Structure 1
Amino acid sequence: MNYINLAGRLLFSILFVISGISHFSSQTIAFAASQGVLFANILVPASGILALIGAGLIITGYKPKWGAVLILLFLAPITVAMHPFWTVSDPIMYQMQFINFFKNVSMLGGALIIISSAPAAIPVVRRNTFKAVTA
């Protein structure tokens, strides 16, 4: 059962690793700027850092709840800013934005589940368990 938790963390997080890396590309920054994102050259890489650190914490099992908080901070503004399906008139683009918006909403739900759940059953990184001896 513990391996299911590890597999779930990996499957949930892999998108954020891939996405986080892409947030350092000039194409992603230019696309965000074309969508009206202010200071895209700063905010897009910063959001990539949030995604990468959040995914890393979830995957390794080291402070996965904090990782999920970082994923929430990454996803919430991106979901609203980059996928406003309610403003799109073209039926095909409407459908694409609608799907991406609710895909992100479901991932926000997954992050909330991680925040509310028990610690990682199989952490990839183990915390130091040595205790100092006092005289």
Structure 2
Amino acid sequence: MILRRVARPLLAATFVYGGINVLRNTQSHAKTAEPFLTDAFDKLEGVIPEQVPRDPATLVRIDAAVKIGAGLAFAAGKAPRLTSALLLGSLVPTTLAAHSFWTFQDPADKKKHQIQFLKNAGLAGGLMLAVADTAGKPSVGWRARRAAKDAGHGVEKLGRKAEKRAKKLAKKAEKALPN
């Protein structure tokens, strides 16, 4: 559908551009993300495996790579439900790290970050729609329910056939027995 061919690249453009911007200015983004990441790692101590990097610069580069890779794939219509879920998963911590407007005292800063927070909330809404969009095909849940229903009908049919066959065999056996 033409709507998807236009909407996906428009939605993805923000993420691709943002990811490229992060790679160009990794240190400033890492500095912004560091308090959020430190707090998150402190709260999740013992839950997150040791192999997960803790360095803010590395984490923002990984986030940028996800935004660029998933954004380009989403724009091209490749695995759109998966890539939109990846973008959504990337957007939430980025928004909380960079635009927690409630922590700002200066009214101008607070307003600027509140606008960015709400813009990201709108992007999240669009991504949620994309995650749920089956492009007119039945969802996995519907297909599973349909398969279970069809299997149930098949079992019922086999049961009726078996019952008929058992009755025929019982009649045959009755006839074969001496009186």
Q: How does 1:46-85 map to 2 (within 5 A)?
A: 46-85=62-101
Q: How does 1:33-112 map to 2 (within 5 A)?
A: 33-37=30-34, 38=37, 39-112=55-128
The share of aligned pairs that are identical, in percent, is 26
- 1:35 to partner: Cα distance: 2.3
Provide closer, same or farther for how the CA distance between residues 119 and 56 of structure 1 changes in structure 2, counting only shifts above 3 A.
farther
- Is the 8 Å Cα contact of residues 56 and 67 (structure 1) preserved in structure 2? no
Higher relative contact order (CA 8 A, sep 6+): 1
Structure 2 counterpart SS, 1:71: helix
Q: How does 1:2-41 map to 2 (within 5 A)?
A: 2-25=1-24, 27=25, 29-37=26-34, 38=37, 39-41=55-57
CA distance in 2, matches of 1:118, 1:36: 34
Structure 2 counterpart SS, 1:104: helix
Q: CA RMSD in A?
A: 1.8
- Is the 8 Å Cα contact of residues 104 and 110 (structure 2) preserved in structure 1? yes
Query: Which consecutive unaligned segments of at least 5 residues does structure 2 have?
Result: 38-54, 137-179
TM-score (norm: length of structure 2): 0.61
CA distance in 2, matches of 1:32, 1:112: 25
Higher helix share: 2
Structure 1 counterpart SS, 2:84: helix
Which amino acid in structure 1 is aligned with residue 32 of structure 2? Q
Structure 2 counterpart SS, 1:118: coil
Larger radius of gyration between Structure 1 and Structure 2:
2
- Is the 8 Å Cα contact of residues 22 and 29 (structure 2) preserved in structure 1? no
- 1:36 to partner: Cα distance: 4.8
Query: Which consecutive unaligned segments of at least 5 residues does structure 1 have?
Result: 121-135
TM-score (norm: length of structure 1): 0.80
Structure 1 counterpart SS, 2:134: coil
